[in-house]
Amino acid sequence: METGTSVSNNNQSIRNDSYEAIKNGSWFNQFRNGCNPWMARYVYGLIFLIANLLAWAARDYGRGALRKVTRFKNCKGGENCLGTDGVLRVSLGCFLFYFVMFLSTLGTSKTHSSRDRWHSGWWFVKLIMWPALTIIPFLLPSSIIHLYGEIAHFGAGVFLLIQLISVISFIQWLNECYQSQKDAERCRVYVMLLSTTSYTVCIVGVILMYIWYAPDSSCLLNIFFITWTLFLIQLMTSIALHPKVNAGYLTPALMGLYVVFICWCAIRSEPVGESCNRKAAASNRTDWLTIISFVVALLAMVIATFSTGIDSQCFQFKKDENDQEEEAEDDVPYGYGFFHFVFATGAMYFAMLLIGWNTHHPMKKWTIDVGWTSTWVRVVNEWLAVCVYIWMLVAPLILKSRRQTPTGT
């Protein structure tokens, strides 16, 4: 018995050492060593990218083929309906694939377990399962697809919420790294330089948005969006620099960049016919710049989904140093269930981008996330990001005061 236990422990140690070598190795080394969770996440990201391209192809170039399918002949709305239906059906297939993976890997905590092997391997089975789940939605009636389209609004909102929490958590983590005791003095110059640069870019961005998207006083809505964004930057900075919070300049500066970017995306999502959106009117025709912008936006969405999916730690309670040291060597490198859940909601999100968050909204070729619904989704996302950031700043003070109140009485 002791010999068998010793051999088992030795084999486990060898597997752990092998995983550690793969983890610390290069990107090429992770692929060369076959099935492992680090290689698997890139494969899942590639599958997600292909699903995005299929949805785009179904919207822009698949209407002729979809018109021949009997299930699409009753589609109300003509060409626009065919494109929207195609996007939602591809999205549903992608969602089903990642949701099945989410259910089958939820709670996986150790490497070399059966669910770890399922997540990191069995690619022959998945290469059959994924196309099958992509084809099944094309066999469903339009009523089910439209119901999925309504549910996808909620799922896409969940994805945006997860994404902004991940971004804010990264900003907070970066600030904590710079403020650590051993690096505080050395990084002070870098913090000031990065903060100053961020605030400068924010100001320049706001000025450019006034020039491009508020050319005259009649553009009241755009003026409100831009001015309110400037106010939110000032509000975040004031709260972060309050003596009781003392969060420094870095986090509000980076959050300022984030909200300026979201505001810019929101205004760019306004329909082309709007007189205040001169940049959109200038890019009304399909040229190489429009195509490049579309490809960059698509790749950015896939990368954002991938980076958010592997950041499951931002939704866990903070652990002290002793707990971190006690983490076993065979713990999974990232939350598999969370990873697939983010991709499942991301499938709903890319559908909303390609149809403009409106199942009855016509979308031109090589466009993404255009329409008044898209604009207001971005604006609300910006305001929600500021609320979450401010809550992260003041929550420790509120919880601390509540804990001290009973002892005082």
**Mean pLDDT across the chain, nearest whole number?**
78
What would the two tokens of residue 380 be? 């609300």
Residue 321 has pLDDT above 50, yes or no: no
Amino acid 257: pLDDT:
92
Q: Average pLDDT of 150-178?
A: 85
Q: Average pLDDT of 309-324?
A: 54
Amino acid 70: pLDDT:
47
The rounded radius of gyration (Å) of the Cα atoms in the chain is 24
Query: What count of residues does the chain have?
Result: 409
Q: How far is CA 273 from CA 276, 281, 294, 371, in A?
A: 9, 7, 19, 10
Residue 362 has pLDDT above 80, yes or no: no
What would the two tokens of residue 346 be? 């991301």
Model confidence at 365, pLDDT cuts 50, 70, 90, reads: confident
104-116 residue pLDDT tens: 998 888 877 888 8
Identify whether the C-beta of residue 352 lies closer than 8 Å to the C-beta of residue 88: no
Amino acid 324: pLDDT:
45
Q: Is the pLDDT higher at 287 or at 261?
A: 261
Q: Average pLDDT of 145-161?
A: 91
20-37 residue pLDDT tens: 554 555 554 544 455 678
Neighbours of 22 (CB within 10 A): 20
Which residues is 331 bridged to in the sheet? Answer: 110
173-198 residue pLDDT tens: 877 777 665 556 667 777 888 899 99
Count H helices and E strands in the chain, helices first.
Answer: 16, 0
What would the two tokens of residue 139 be? 């066999």
Closest CA to 339 of 318, 312, 304, 313: 312
Chain-centre distance for alpha carbon 34: 27
370-402 residue pLDDT tens: 888 889 999 999 999 999 999 988 888 888 777
35-69 residue pLDDT tens: 678 888 888 999 999 999 999 888 888 766 655 55
229-247 residue pLDDT tens: 999 999 999 999 988 888 8
Residue 14 has pLDDT above 50, yes or no: no
Q: Average pLDDT of 118-134?
A: 90
Amino acid 65: pLDDT:
60
CA-to-CA distance for 339 and 39, rounded, in angstroms? 14
Which residue in this structure is represented by tokens 């991938």?
Answer: 306
